[in-house]
Amino acid sequence: MTDRPVRVRIAPSPTGEPHVGTAYIALFNYLFAQKQGGEFILRIEDTDATRSTPEFETKVLDALKWCGLKWSEGPDIGGPYGPYRQSDRKDLYKPFVEQIVDAGHGFRCFCTPERLTEMREAQRAAGKPPKYDGLCLHISAEEVTARVASGEPHVVRMKIPTEGSCKFVDGVYGEVDIPWDAVDMQVLLKADGMPTYHMANVVDDHLMKITHVARGEEWLSSVPKHILIYQYLGLEPPVFMHLSLMRNADKSKLSKRKNPTSISYYTALGYLPEALMNFLGLFFIQIAEGEEMLTMDQLAEKFDPANLSKAGAIFDIQKLDWLNGRWLREGLSEDEFAARVLSWAMENDRIKQGLKLSQSRISKLGELPDLAGFLFKSDLGLDASSFAKVKSTPEELVEIFNTVQPDLEKILEWNVEAIEAELRAIADRMGKKLKVIVAPLFVAVSGSTRSLPLFDSMAILGRSVVRQRLKVAGQVAASMVGSGK
């Protein structure tokens, strides 16, 4: 393995807004490749056909480019081991799955979703971890052949050793020992012919000659499955490195339910990519006090993969703000600062669309800041008085925000039409008039009862900013319950 040219990859799934955790893992791989003189590859893992969308793929690519990361191979630029999108590689996986089945290491499973649900519920009720019970392992070869020939839906699962444990050395955690009885008989090929993440991951890493796999620690428990697949195929596994998860200050997992996690949120609020990468890069290096402000090249120079911490990486927003302030003051000339401000204001056509909506609503230009300024604010400063002109009770406000927030997450393509349709549907489901739903959202999004049209404003601000503003408004509304306000 050490004699092979270093090749690492980032393999995001385009199923939602690009997460800062993706940038965190991508940066590690990028710095590793820079340090080792290797190649950094981008691959799109879209085996989840129901949630993956071209819009989210574009957002992933744009976000990573904004971060300043450059890849030598990927779906946008091609390369010698393409295609670099799993949905375009569908025909590559089945022969590997058949090889595993033919060698007796895999089996066809005809269990229905209903049976699997009942099985898992019974296991949970008995206090056992849910995993496949091996029913279809005992079907005869003749019956399997007949059921497949009849067109009966089925998946392919991998066999798991019944004794012992999987021992391997992780680049961060060192020696790891996971009992085989803790490992499930993973589905390798779904009924629709698409591979699962685990199967596609191994095959793609092999075909793309990936030498080191660096990813979040949540994947550590999946390593035994991946090592088995490599063994069943007679292939050499890469070196695994599992990085500590980014966490909130209270050590809880970084989650959009608690804090903003989308890269688009930080771009919208005017954070510099240099500052965000600087902030994330500090998790991977050792520095003395006063050395915090570092460029990408300086991060790569100080990067030492042999000296990584297993302690959780704390996403301290105050430290990020401090670093961003330093970059604004010390990292940019006056001309560069002006250029960045203009670029930020024009991001996603924000200023153009804002002015378009404002033109018919003002009598002089001096009214623009009050009318459209919310499009550029980091914090609206909401409090109970903000909702004084909204007729709903605090309890009704809480109900509206608690309903709207998760329902808006269901929107696949974030645009005016989809937002309006979803809010109208929410009003119908709640048995309320649309204006009752819209009134508090107007305040939550713009901070005012007089502003630009709500649906357009939400589309311009973007999903991640709207999510955070609704969360803050919901907290304000909750604080009003029982207070008489």
Query: Within 10 A of 276 (CB to CB), how many other CB atoms are there?
Result: 24
- Does 256 carry a binding-site annotation? yes
Contacts 24+ apart (CB under 8 A), 419-425: 419/455, 419/458, 419/459, 420/455, 423/455
The verdict on whether residue 67 carries a ligand-binding annotation is no
Rounded Cα–Cα distance for residues 127 and 326 (Å) = 53
Give 42-53 as a DSSP string. E-B----TTT--
Region label for 138, one of left (φ > 0), alpha (ψ between -120 and 50) or beta (otherwise):
alpha
Are the beta carbons of 371 and 358 closer than 8 angstroms? yes
If you write DSSP's letter for every residue of 278-330 in order, what string do you get? HHHHGGGS---TT-----HHHHHHH--TTS---S-EE--HHHHHHHHHHHHHH
Which residue in 35, 256, 432, 485 is the catalytic one? 256
**Which DSSP helix (H) or strand (E) runs through 241?**
strand 239-243
The three-point CA angle 441-447-449 to 5° equals: 70
The count of residues in the chain is: 485
Q: Is residue 138 marked as binding?
A: yes
Catalytic residue flag (residue 432): no
The CA-CA-CA angle for residues 19, 20, 26, to 5°, reads: 100
The catalytic residue positions are: 256
Give the residue numbers of the binding site for Zn(2+).
109, 111, 136, 138
Give the residue numbers of the binding site for ATP.
256
